[in-house]
């Protein structure tokens, strides 16, 4: 019989964490003066384990980092990861959805739109759904989005739909599906969409955070939900010209994961599910 999960530790999961911002988030969470179990989640097992081996040196005695195999584009992988964490830890205090992709250069077609949205938006949505039952009262969900996902890049009609307080998760799925379909058939511009797969995928991530924050399973457990932009960071995605280090890029996600909730919500002045950059609320 397996041993009972250890619920005395702070348990966090960071997706897409074998490199870049995700890896820096894991490092910063692990070096807090709190007994912790940090799951470094990634789809590449070899690189994920190498990242764990690198980060585990010098950790506080009561903190550990474990590799978690998780491909956010594969539902079976997501469900297997959730089952493992349920068995080992029992809870997830913080889920940080960091995994994401962006096509290089100016290439733009139906396949690129589908790949980008499937990873960045659908992957975030399905991963959150799988782990949500493990998130306890006052837990947190942090979705790494981007300023490139600004709402103003879509038409006024689409802006109204994305920002509507009556938008449902199913309705949001349909909007994202409409974008992919309109790119595939070449009608995207006439329907109010930009020639920007990454940007639209991040519109979806930020909108998901807003809609998720209204769900009964979130409000009943007082779970904090937030989307954030890490800034322009020197990563494989951001490029060498970016002015921020990965350590800088990790600061806002880590702040949202660990800071006092009253500070994040400005003493209750802000709604749940908003967008942040540089450790402060900014307009979407």
- The CATH code of domain 10-106+120-151+199-281 reads 3.40.50.720
Whole-prediction pTM value? 0.94
User: pLDDT digit string (tens) for 187-230?
Assistant: 999 999 999 999 999 999 999 999 999 999 999 999 999 999 98
Mean pLDDT of the chain: 93
* Contacts of residue 78, Cβ cutoff 8 Å, sequence gap at least 6: 70, 71, 72, 126, 127, 130
Cβ burial of 166 (10 Å; 0-12, 13-18, 19+) is exposed
Q: Is 198 a catalytic residue?
A: yes
The single residue of 39, 121, 188, 198 carrying the catalytic annotation is: 198
Stretch 256-283: mean pLDDT, rounded?
97
pLDDT level of residue 105 (50, 70, 90 thresholds): confident
Q: How far apart are CA 56 and CA 24, in angstroms?
A: 13
pLDDT level of residue 106 (50, 70, 90 thresholds): confident
| Cβ atoms 21, 47 nearer than 8 A | no
Of 67, 173, 89, give the one whose Cα is nearest residue 139: 89
Query: Has residue 4 got a pLDDT over 80?
Result: no
Q: What are phi and psi of 227, to 5 degrees?
A: -105, 155
């Amino acid at each position: 019989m397996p041993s009972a999960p250890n619920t005395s530790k702070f348990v966090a999961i960071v997706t897409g964490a074998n490199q870049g911002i995700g890896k820096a988030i894991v490092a910063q969470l692990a070096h807090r003066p709190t007994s912790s179990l940090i799951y470094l989640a990634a789809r590449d097992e070899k690189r994920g384990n190498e990242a764990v081996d690198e980060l585990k040196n010098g950790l506080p005695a009561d903190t550990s980092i474990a590799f978690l195999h998780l491909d956010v584009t594969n539902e079976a992988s997501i469900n297997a990861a959730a089952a493992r964490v349920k068995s080992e830890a029992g809870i997830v205090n913080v889920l940080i959805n960091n995994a994401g992709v962006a096509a290089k250069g100016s290439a733009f077609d139906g396949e690129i739109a589908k790949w980008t949205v499937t990873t960045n938006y659908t992957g975030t949505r399905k991963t959150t759904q799988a782990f949500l039952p493990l998130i306890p009262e006052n837990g947190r969900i942090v979705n790494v989005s981007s300023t490139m996902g600004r709402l103003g890049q879509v038409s006024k009609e689409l802006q109204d739909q994305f920002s509507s307080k009556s938008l449902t998760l199913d309705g949001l799925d349909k909007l994202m599906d409409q974008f992919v379909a309109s790119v595939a058939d070449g009608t995207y511009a006439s329907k109010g969409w930009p020639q920007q797969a990454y940007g639209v995928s991040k519109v979806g991530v930020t909108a998901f955070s807003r809609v998720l924050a209204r769900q009964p399973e979130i409000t009943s457990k007082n779970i904090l939900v937030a989307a954030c932009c890490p800034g322009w960071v020197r990563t494989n995605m951001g490029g060498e010209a970016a002015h921020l280090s990965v350590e800088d890029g990790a600061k806002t996600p880590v702040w949202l994961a660990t800071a006092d909730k009253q500070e994040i919500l400005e003493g209750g002045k802000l709604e749940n599910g908003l967008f942040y950059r540089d450790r402060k609320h900014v307009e979407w």
